Structure 1
Amino acid sequence: MSLPSTVRLERTTPRTARITFANPPANLVIPESVVTLLKIVKDLENDPDIQVVVFDSELPDFFVNHYDGAAAADLPQPEHEDDTPVWTDMVLRLSKAPFISVAAIRGRTRGAGNELALACDLRYASREKAFFGQPEVGIGIVPGGGGAERLPRSVGRDRALEAILTSVDYDADVAERWGWVTRTLPDAELDAFVDATVARLASFDRQALATAKAMVNRATLPPDADLVAAFGEFANTLTQPGFAARAVGLGALVAEKGLDVEYQLGEYVGLVNETL
């Protein structure tokens, strides 16, 4: 019997769809998530009726979290030398798709999850429950899915450097003030606001939406080659001794502290480095 997918697609109306993440207990991204998400995005970008796609989570404390380090060796690799890496292919397609992508962020979103959110066109976050981060450098690797390419375009060079180099978590108030998200809303109002925005966009002309998005893309998206290069740099750091030592330390903390490490990852990353 096959296990249920960590990524679920629901066609909510003829013009809208919802992609929901569910990988308890912390919504870590695993190889199955990456492969399934790419297939879903490919299918939706070729759907002539879809205008708006919402990304959300089944877990209230985690939107989409970082990649599961224990599954790093199983990360999907390009079949041929010139092929685009699977995760990179997915985020590139998502940012250029003819539909409008909306992230409804409630809970922690870090690493790959934050890179997915940054690839979405609109990001709406719970003011009380959303947290953001790029923790890679703190554990001896680098962002590989577009974080270093997209975040500076949203928050500026110095703020992106702070977020990526310090590997700390940022709350929704800071994220909104910096431009990391489109806007924050009280948690009780988030779903209604997203639903209203989706319904409004779905009522518009599809071609006008897609063309306007393409026009903004021309002015704002990083070159595809930069994201491809970033994945290669990320993959290389996975083989370095700096990552190996920190992975052992973080694993020991997980064994001791359990799920609290995922709730307070920014703090625990700092503790790992203090012991080296």
Structure 2
Amino acid sequence: MSQPSTVRLERTTPQIAKITFANPPVNLVVPETLVRLHEIVTGFEKDPDLQVVVFTSEVPDFFLNHFDASQAAGIPAPEHEGGNPVWTDIVLSLSKAPYVSIASIRGRTRGGGNELALACDLRYASREKAFFSQPEVGIGLVPGGGGAERLPRLLGRDRALEAILGSADYDADLAERWGWVTRTLPDAELDAFVDATAARLASFDRQALATAKSQVNRATLPPEADLVASFAAFGNTLTQPGFLSRAAGIGAVAADKGLDVEYRLGEYIGLVNQTL
């Protein structure tokens, strides 16, 4: 690989793995992110020791961001004929895996990044620095990686509609009150808390963890077919005039305002739509 990967794997103990996102300056999801993440998650399926996987980021202010729409053509196709889209396969694998997945969220997590966090079993967020969004509708797209299926189960129908249709950024305090995250912690305490939680779970019986998770899954997971359908709907909107005009508008604003657009994406989405 000619460039450093946007996803890094570290095995801290035989029972605990850490996956770090590293695509500065704003941790966009690019095709290589999907390929590498799918490779890692698929490799975990044959690991007899793994009990906890922690997701984190080394990019200040961003956990994992939305897809880079300019690279949509490079999104990998299913590995086998009739197989699930790669992104769908990743989030489904995390939900159904026998290990416990934990998202340690410091910074902005939007779109595909938010959908990966939603696929994790536990989500812990920095009270001061975490922000959440499903911005797709505001730029003429629809969520394609499980946001539309998982948020209603966590937030309720009306709050999920506000979050998805409104395409705004939500701070960690509101996300915690709504059930978007498991809990928030002071930023200075986040890493130690996640590490302690991972170590505690890693000390438990692996079979008991996996069986208890499968019991909860039966009551809470969306049907697999719904996630497949959502990714197809997302792909369809990538070619629609509504997205193309808004993408051009966001691109023009980004050329003028730079990275501030990614820091305050919800605000800029509203401004761009007012000019159309």
**When the two structures are superposed, what TM-score results if normalisation uses the length of structure 2?**
0.99
Aligned residue identity for 1:100: V
Aligned partner of 2:191 in structure 1 is 191
Structure 2: segments with no counterpart, 5+ residues: none
Distance 2:205 2:114 in 1: 30
The answer on whether the counterparts of 2:261 and 2:268 sit within 8 Å (CA) in structure 1 is yes
Instruction: Write out aligned runs for 1:229-244 (5 A).
Output: 229-244=229-244
**Is 2:65 aligned against 1:71?**
no
Aligned partner of 1:224 in structure 2 is 224
The answer on whether the counterparts of 1:45 and 1:99 sit within 8 Å (CA) in structure 2 is no
Aligned residue identity for 1:60: P
**What count of residue pairs does the alignment treat as equivalent?**
276
Distance 2:73 2:64 in 1: 20
Instruction: Write out aligned runs for 1:81-160 (5 A).
Output: 82-160=82-160
Q: CA deviation at 1:44?
A: 1.3
**When the two structures are superposed, what TM-score results if normalisation uses the length of structure 1?**
0.99
Aligned residue identity for 1:167: S
The answer on whether the counterparts of 2:250 and 2:272 sit within 8 Å (CA) in structure 1 is yes
Q: Which moved more, 1:37-46 or 1:54-63?
A: 37-46
Instruction: Write out aligned runs for 1:2-21 (5 A).
Output: 2-21=2-21
Q: CA deviation at 1:78?
A: 2.6
Aligned residue identity for 2:215: M
Aligned partner of 1:268 in structure 2 is 268
Q: Which moved more, 1:43-52 or 1:79-88?
A: 79-88
Q: Secondary structure at the match of 2:17?
A: strand
- Deviation track 1:173-205 (CA, whole Å, cap 9, x = no partner) reads 000000000000000000010011001000000
The answer on whether the counterparts of 2:141 and 2:238 sit within 8 Å (CA) in structure 1 is yes
**Is 2:51 aligned against 1:51?**
yes
Distance 1:33 1:198 in 2: 24
Aligned residue identity for 1:146: G
The answer on whether the counterparts of 2:137 and 2:166 sit within 8 Å (CA) in structure 1 is yes
Distance 1:49 1:79 in 2: 26
Q: CA deviation at 1:59?
A: 1.1
Distance 1:158 1:270 in 2: 20
Distance 2:76 2:230 in 1: 15
Instruction: Write out aligned runs for 1:161-200 (5 A).
Output: 161-200=161-200
Q: CA deviation at 1:128?
A: 0.1
Structure 1: segments with no counterpart, 5+ residues: none
Aligned residue identity for 1:228: V
Distance 2:228 2:237 in 1: 15
Aligned residue identity for 2:158: D
Q: Secondary structure at the match of 2:180?
A: coil
The answer on whether the counterparts of 2:104 and 2:191 sit within 8 Å (CA) in structure 1 is yes
- Deviation track 1:56-75 (CA, whole Å, cap 9, x = no partner) reads 00012000000001111211
Instruction: Give the % identical residues.
Output: 78
Distance 1:79 1:114 in 2: 24
Q: CA deviation at 1:81?
A: 5.2
Distance 1:81 1:7 in 2: 26
Instruction: Write out aligned runs for 1:252-263 (5 A).
Output: 252-263=252-263
Aligned-CA RMSD value: 0.9
Change (3 A) 1:32 1:152: same
The answer on whether the counterparts of 2:79 and 2:86 sit within 8 Å (CA) in structure 1 is no
Q: CA deviation at 1:77?
A: 2.2
Q: Secondary structure at the match of 1:63?
A: strand
Q: Which moved more, 1:73-82 or 1:98-107?
A: 73-82
